Structure 1
Amino acid sequence: MNRPTSAALAALSLLSVTALTACGGSSDPDRATDEPKTGASASASAAKTPSPAEHLAATIVTKVDTDGFEVAEPDEQYAFAKSADEVTVDKPVCAPLAYAMNQLPLGAPEADLTRLTSGPTDAPTQLTKGITYTYVTLASYAPGKAQSSFADARKAVDACGDGFTAKANGNESPYDSVTAEKVAPAGDESLGFTSTMAFRGVPHVLHGEVVRSGDVLAVYFSVDGMAIANGRPSDAKLSPTVVKAQNGKLVAGSGS
């Protein structure tokens, strides 16, 4: 059976997951420049310059940032694909959207990190209406590469209005339509989109957003996994709390 989207199954597996805390990676210190420095100042400079992975780990949203939303690492066993190389799209121009809606980074980043958010946990309607999950994928790029990856995403939204189909590892995700969606300005440039799909004849509306802040892209994607699994129509909007918190951390990080 074709899965409707990897996000739906990942959401179902994480209904009882507690928040996890992001941790940083490691990297070699920056290479010395041609201009000599004193040992103390060179060490201080290296200590102040985090690697791309460390920067993302310090920038990704946490439970503290989101007023109690659960923030967890997605379960890889439910991933549609573990890398973009595993994904094929019937319309290549639409590939950035396939990646965005399956928690894969756009383009070729130097580092990337994904979190799955849900909540607030005391929402009175979550048992009857399901929980909407907002995925956050951050990716750090070499200078100029974030801009080109953002441009590819914008081109995909413009070109894929009549939908597309993505396949990976024996699974298939058909999207019936894609339209641009107005979002609050954020970062250096931002882009919103809405996509539609049907599973067992039941319609679902999914929402996404891409924000560029300097050389970092934030990709947001929302899904109501319980609605899809239980055959209820859904319109899974992005969490304003999560998006605002993450965009705020991106701006603060790009200015430091």
Structure 2
Amino acid sequence: MKRSSGARLGATVAVSALSLALITGCSDSGSDSKGSKDPGSPSSASSAPAAKALTKAELEKLLLAQGEVKGYKVGSGDDTLPKSKTEVKTDKPQCDPLAWSTAALAPGDTDANASNSVAEDKASTATAQPENVEDAFDINMTFVGLSSYEGDGAEKAMKAVSDGVTACSGGYGLAAGGENSKVTKVAPSKGSGLGDESVAFSEDVDMDGEGSATFHTEVVRKGNTIATFYTVNFAALGSGKAAEIPAAVIEAQVAKLK
């Protein structure tokens, strides 16, 4: 199976990312919407008083840690995630928040951002080694980003993501990690409904003329902190089946937010 640059959607997600998780073990590690929340737009509005943004150091302490989600390994993501928004560019400004969300970067205007990766730990449930290369890549890896905002910055960031889902429904061009990809379709999807508001969406990415692959992203706000979740499974890219964001990961991460 050819692994297109489309697999790097929104993050510099490469095959080496999963190889690193499997070989070195440095990477450790959605449910239904609540009520009548619209999964493709902010699920609720908050009138909570403005709070100061958390620092990067404070956000790092809120990221999921090893042992907090059973069956998953948590890693730093340092070798796979872009360091700044300058490394992730789109050809439509209104699509930037979507691309940043998939790259575990802040979807809004803030410098307070932290991220890591959470991957399935199949070794914890089975002792057998992968039978072939494809089996070795059959792991869901979720990239998690946390960002914090002053005043109503978090609400504005959520609106930008929601607006982007609509404005970018016809797709957009993406440059990340030195490679170009084409998102051919963006559509709202059913998310977890957690936090004060949430937006979930899917993106179809052109696989260099060999069909397309679908990826899911969810953005959740709790207070003035936003969590982004993006999951990829390289073994499933040619199957036409999209990797779902693990509900356990979203629930555990949102529960840690203040």
The match for 1:3 among 2, 5, 8 is 5
Deviates more, 1:211-220 or 1:119-128: 119-128
Match of residue 76 from structure 2: 73
Determine the structure 2 residue equivalent to 1:242.
Answer: 249
Residue-by-residue CA offset, 1:22-58 (whole Å, 9 max, x unaligned): xxxxxxxxxxxxxxxxxxxxxxxxxxx9952232122
Secondary structure of the equivalent of 1:65? Answer: coil
In the TM superposition, what is the alpha-carbon distance from 1:85 to its structure 2 partner?
Answer: 2.4
Post-superposition offset of 1:243: 0.8
1:203 is the counterpart of 2:212: yes
Q: Distance in 2 between matches of 1:217 and 1:105?
A: 8
Please report how far the alpha carbon of residue 162 of structure 1 lies from its aligned counterpart in structure 2 after TM superposition: 1.3
Pairwise CA distance, 1:17: 4.0
State how 1:145-224 maps to structure 2 within 5 Å. Answer: 145-168=153-176, 170-200=178-208, 201-224=210-233
Cα separation, 2, equivalents of 1:117 and 1:57: 14
Distance of aligned partners of 1:50 and 1:111 in 2 relative to their CA distance in 1, 3 Å threshold:
closer
TM-score with structure 2 setting the length? 0.75
| Residue 138 to residue 151, structure 1, CA distance change in 2 (3 Å) | same
2:73/2:118 contact within 8 Å kept: yes
Cα deviation digits, residues 135-169 of structure 1 (max 9, x gap): 11011111211111111001001111111111146
Aligned to 1:225: 234
In 2: Cα distance, 1:227 partner to 1:8 partner: 14
Moved more, 52-61 or 190-199: 52-61
Q: Secondary structure at the match of 2:186?
A: strand
* In structure 2, distance between residues paired with 1:211 and 1:51: 16
Structure 1 CA distance for aligned equivalents of residues 22 and 235 of structure 2: 9
1:194-241 Cα deviation digits (max 9, x unpaired): 11113240431111100011110000001113444xx54441110111
Cα separation, 2, equivalents of 1:194 and 1:179? 5
CA–CA separation in structure 2 for the residues paired with 1:232 and 1:14: 22
Find the aligned partners of 1:61 and 1:92 in 2 and give their Cα distance.
Answer: 31
The one of 47, 57, 79 equivalent to 1:54 is 57
What is the CA–CA distance in structure 2 between the aligned matches of 1:164 and 1:110, rounded to whole Å?
A: 25
Tell me which structure has the larger Cα radius of gyration: 1
Q: Corresponding residue for 2:23?
A: 16
In structure 2, the CA distance between the partners of 1:239 and 1:150, relative to structure 1 (3 Å rule), is same
Superimposed CA distance per residue, residues 86-112 of structure 1 (whole angstroms, 9 cap, x where no aligned partner): 333112111111111222221232421
Aligned counterpart for 2:141 among listed residues 127, 133, 141: 133
Q: Are 2:127 and 1:120 equivalent residues in the alignment? A: no
The alignment partner of 1:64 has SS state of coil
What amino acid does structure 1 have at the position aligned with 2:252? A
Aligned partner of 1:30 in structure 2 is none
**Which stretches in structure 1 are left out of the alignment for 5+ residues?**
22-48
Which residue type is aligned with residue 104 of structure 1?
A: L
Q: Equivalent residue of 1:235, what SS?
A: coil
SS in 1 for 2:23: coil
Q: Confirm or deny: 8 A CA contact 2:117 2:143 kept in the other structure.
A: yes
What is the TM-score of this pair, normalised by structure 1? Answer: 0.76
Amino acid paired to 1:89: T
Instruction: Give me the whole-angstrom Cα distance separating, in 1, the residues matched to 2:129 and 2:255.
Output: 27
Residue 102 of structure 1: aligned partner = 103
How has the CA–CA distance of structure 1 residues 204 and 7 changed in structure 2, closer, same or farther, with 3 Å as cutoff? Answer: same
**RMSD, matched Cα:** 2.8
Gaps of 5+ in 2: 29-51
Larger relative contact order (CA 8 Å, sep ≥ 6): 2
Task: Tell me the SS of whatever aligns to 2:98.
Answer: helix
